């Protein structure tokens, strides 16, 4: 401890300068602006030009939104929701909504993560609809649906329901939906005819309800078929392998609209002459299922390929037979891996249901086209087209953005794409 500079124990006699604050241009708002917006001459010019463009676009958009004629959308809100469903039987779609909300809440409580984010989004949407003045009965329905969602969530948290019962409940809900919306069951070939209300022709299902039915039933029915095709494609038996390959490549190589027209025109041709012609809804569902199964097969195949070979080998070393190996080891892991891709596929299918409007079904886009043609709006300058299509696009956007947001959160949780 000397002040001799050449000593090994030299101590600096001067007081050290106190640590200063970082320069104001490096931290806080100014620092962020410098780093992200104005980091160089070119970048600054780009920022200013972009700001100018954004300002013009935004003000124009807001001005148009406030001044647009929203009456065609508001007056037809029932059509957009359930289509031309008989107005005096709206209790039936309402019952379906309540059951689905309750089941969704229970699933959110049991499974958590992505389902819970979706349930929160759904709850927010229903609450907004409960507050908007869309009509007392509809608002009451939305309020009860939110309540059921929350109750279901609490039940799901507390009661340990096994996954298989919940899956069975969902499948049962599909059958429940089909029966309740129809008003009963009518299968003339099998001689069953039972109804609790006047039977509703499936051609009267429409609006957002029909879009949901098409998408959900489509992906549910295509799931088993898609998994079988994926397994078949990886099979060592050449007949099954080539059949799967041909099916997948043919269906993926043609546009959905081709398959829709194929189903609409040819399904009655393929059924025996005695059978009655299936309703348009059934034909479109067939087309959507067949189409979606091919894409699902490719997604599942990706998951199967990502599974390390060691899993297959270990399962065989344990002596598991073929179907047990699939059921216990392979499929649980592979399907968990492809959940983000499956959500993406559901989003795509949800958007693709809009093509059903081109074959005569009145789902959301079809109702939009019909609303534009209504005589009340013929005198409106510029027509009702812009407002109606922006509204339809907005509805799709809410659902798809919510789904893709939840999927991205799931991917972050799974650590996909990190360093």
Partner 1 sequence: MATSTHPNARPPFYRDTQVIAILMQAFFLILVVAAGWFLYTNMTTNLAAINNASGGRLSWSFLGQTAGFEISEGPAFRPEQSYWRAYMVGLANTLRVSVAGVILATLLGVSTGIARVSNNWLLSKIALTYVEVIRSTPLLVQLLFWYFGVIATLPAVKEAAEWPGLAFLSNRGIFITWPFLTESGAPWFWWLVGGAVAGAVVAWLRRRHLVHQGLPGGGLILGVATFFLVAIVGFFVAFSAARLPDTIAYELKRGDRGTLFADADGDGKYKPEIDRALPYVPITLLDAGGQPLATETTDGDGAFRFFEAPAGGTSLTWTTPPPVFLSEPERQGFNFRGGLSLTPEFVALLLGLVVYTGAFIAEIVRAGINAVPKGQWEASRAVGLGTADTLRIIVLPQALRVIIPPLTSQYLNLVKNSSLAIAIGYPDLFYVGRVIVNQSGAEVQMILVVMATYLSFSLITSLFMNWYNRRVMIIER
Chain residues in the site for partner 1 (CB under 8 A): 35-37, 39, 43, 46-47, 50-51, 54, 236-240, 243, 249-250, 252-255, 257-258, 261-262, 265-266, 268-273, 347, 351-352, 354-355, 357-358, 365, 368-369, 372, 382-383, 385-386, 389-390, 392-393, 396-397, 400-401, 404, 417, 419
Q: Minimal distance in Å, beta carbon 93 to partner 1?
A: 23
Please state, in angstroms and rounded to a whole number, the distance separating the CA atoms of residues 233 and 287.
21
Which is nearer to partner 1, 166 or 380 (by Cβ)?
A: 380
The CB-of-268 to partner 1 minimum distance in angstroms stands at 7
Q: Is the dihedral of CA 350, 130, 167, 159 positive or negative?
A: positive
Closer to partner 1 by Cβ: residue 34 or 327: 34
Q: How far is the CB of 399 from partner 1 (least distance, A)?
A: 8
Q: How far apart are CA 222 and CA 295, in angstroms?
A: 9
Q: How far is the CB of 297 from partner 1 (least distance, A)?
A: 16
Residue 10 or 64 with smaller CB distance to partner 1 = 64
Token code pair at residue 268: 């009655």
Which backbone phi and psi does 288 adopt, to 5 degrees?
-65, -40
Angstrom distance (rounded) from CA 123 to CA 133: 17
Distance of CA 178 to the CA centre of its chain: 20
Which of 148/384 has CB closer to partner 1? 384
Q: What angle do CA 349, 351, 356 make, to 5 degrees?
A: 85
With contact defined as beta carbons under 8 Å apart, do 219 and 344 qualify?
Answer: no
- Beta-carbon count within 10 A of 135 CB: 11
369: tokens are 């086209």
Q: Which is nearer to partner 1, 101 or 293 (CB)?
A: 293
* Residue placing its CB nearer to partner 1 in the complex, 150 or 385: 385
Task: State the nearest-atom distance from the C-beta of 401 to partner 1, in Å.
Answer: 5
Query: How near is the Cβ of 153 to partner 1 at its closest, in Å?
Result: 26
Residue whose tokens read 């090994």: 8
**CB-nearer residue toward partner 1: 143 or 348:** 348
Q: DSSP for 207-246? A: HHHHHHHHHHHHHHHHHHHHHHHHHHHT-S-HHHHHHHHH
Give the relative orientation of helices 238-253 and 207-233 as an angle to the nearest 10 degrees. Answer: 150
Give the nearest distance from C-beta 34 to partner 1 in angstroms: 11
Nearest to 109 by CA among 126, 123, 94, 130: 123
For residue 89, what is the DSSP state?
A: G
* Least spacing, CB of residue 189 vs partner 1, in Å: 15
Give me 31's structure tokens.
Answer: 């620092």
Instruction: Give the nearer residue to partner 1 in terms of CB position, either 122 or 141.
Output: 122
CA gap 419, 416 in Å, rounded: 9
Whose CA is closest to 157, among 105, 102, 98? Answer: 105
Q: Which is nearer to partner 1, 107 or 345 (CB)?
A: 345
Helix (H, G, I), strand (E, B) or coil at 252: helix
Nearer to partner 1, 203 or 268 (CB): 268
Minimum CB separation of residue 386 from partner 1 in Å reads 4
Residue 243 Cβ vs partner 1, minimum distance, rounded to whole Å: 7
d(CA 328, CA 318): 12
Shortest Å, Cβ 59 to partner 1: 15
**Cβ closest to partner 1, residue 6 vs residue 189:** 189
Q: How far apart are CA 403 and CA 223, in angstroms?
A: 19
Distances (CA, A) of 345 to 125, 212, 248, 284, 297: 23, 14, 15, 18, 11
């Amino acid at each position: 401890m000397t002040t001799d500079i050449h000593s090994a124990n030299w101590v600096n006699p001067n007081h050290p300068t106190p640590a200063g604050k970082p320069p104001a241009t490096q931290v806080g708002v100014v620092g962020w602006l410098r780093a992200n917006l104005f980091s160089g001459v070119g970048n600054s010019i780009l920022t200013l030009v972009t700001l100018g463009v954004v300002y013009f676009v935004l003000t124009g958009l807001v001005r148009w939104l406030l001044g647009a004629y929203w009456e065609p959308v508001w007056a037809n809100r029932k059509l957009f929701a359930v289509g031309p469903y008989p107005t005096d039987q709206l209790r039936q779609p309402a019952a379906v909504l309540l059951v689905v909300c309750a089941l969704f809440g229970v699933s959110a409580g049991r499974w958590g993560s992505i389902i819970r984010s979706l349930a929160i989004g759904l709850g927010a949407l229903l609450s907004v609809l409960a507050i908007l003045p869309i009509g007392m009965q509809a608002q009451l329905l939305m309020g009860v649906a939110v309540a059921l969602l929350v109750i279901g969530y609490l039940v799901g948290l507390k009661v340990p329901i096994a996954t298989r019962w919940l899956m069975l409940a969902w499948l049962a809900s599909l059958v429940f939906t089909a029966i309740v919306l129809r008003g009963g069951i009518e299968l003339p070939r099998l001689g069953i005819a039972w109804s609790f209300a006047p039977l509703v022709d499936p051609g009267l299902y429409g609006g957002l309800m029909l879009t949901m039915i098409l998408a959900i039933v489509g992906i549910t029915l295509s799931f088993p078929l898609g998994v079988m095709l994926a397994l078949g494609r990886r099979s060592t038996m050449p007949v099954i392998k080539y059949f799967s390959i041909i099916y997948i490549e043919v269906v993926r190589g043609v546009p959905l609209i081709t398959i829709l027209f194929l189903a609409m025109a040819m399904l009655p041709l393929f059924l025996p002459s005695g059978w009655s012609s299936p309703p348009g809804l059934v034909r479109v569902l067939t087309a959507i299922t067949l189409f979606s199964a091919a894409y699902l097969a490719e997604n599942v195949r990706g998951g199967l390929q990502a599974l390390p070979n060691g899993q297959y080998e270990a399962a065989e070393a344990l002596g598991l037979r073929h179907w047990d190996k699939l059921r216990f080891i392979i499929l649980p892991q592979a399907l968990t891996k492809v959940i983000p891709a499956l959500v993406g596929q559901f989003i795509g299918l949800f958007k693709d249901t809009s093509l059903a409007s081109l074959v005569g079904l009145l789902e959301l886009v079809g109702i939009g086209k019909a609303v534009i043609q209504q005589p009340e709006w013929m005198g409106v300058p510029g027509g009702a087209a812009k407002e109606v299509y922006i509204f339809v696009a907005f509805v799709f956007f809410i659902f798809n953005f919510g789904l893709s947001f939840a999927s991205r959160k799931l991917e972050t949780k799974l650590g996909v794409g990190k360093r």
